Amino acid sequence: MLKIITHPNPILRKKSREIKHEEILRADFKKLVKDMAKTMLEKDGVGLAAPQVGKNIRLIVVNSEDGVMAFINPKILKKSWRKKIGEEGCLSLPDIFMLVKRHYGVEVEFLNLEAKKQKIKAKDLLARVFQHEIDHLDGVLFIDKAER
């Protein structure tokens, strides 16, 4: 299991770099994805971003209805007009829960583990998870966006 970096560690505030095509196909990268997935599930998380385990690369893992999936270099292409307020927590901010307004739906473009470009549409909780985890890749934490 990987060690979760907690706030106020400066790693959590750095913008993460894109992952190169050749890196995705390496065994050590595949192991990192597996270890991140295992760590997220052990800690009862629904998403985990690489900066939360000390790696400033654009990688997130998400626990969806289809199981755990890796999203490499994810980008939000479209956001719904409609927004929804919901409670969020974060493995990097243990025992803190706050209300955050997020887009109800998003369309995300990413690379899969074969380095192939993909798109996924998500709404409600899954859309919230994508927005929360992609924020991590830009050094943004949910406490920055919480309703005051």
pLDDT digits (tens, 9 = 90+) for 10-62: 999 999 999 999 999 999 999 999 999 999 999 999 999 999 999 999 999 99
Beta bridge mates, 47:
62
d(Cα 125, Cα 21) in Å, to the nearest integer? 30
Contact assessment for residue 108 and residue 130, using Cβ atoms and an 8 Å cutoff: yes
pTM of the entire structure?
0.96
Residue 120 clears pLDDT 90, i.e. is over it: yes
d(Cα 4, Cα 111) in Å, to the nearest integer? 24
- Which is the catalytic residue, given 87, 107, 109, 133? 133
All domains of the chain in start order, with CATH: 10-145 (3.90.45.10)
Contact assessment for residue 141 and residue 93, using Cβ atoms and an 8 Å cutoff: yes
Catalytic residue check, 133 = yes
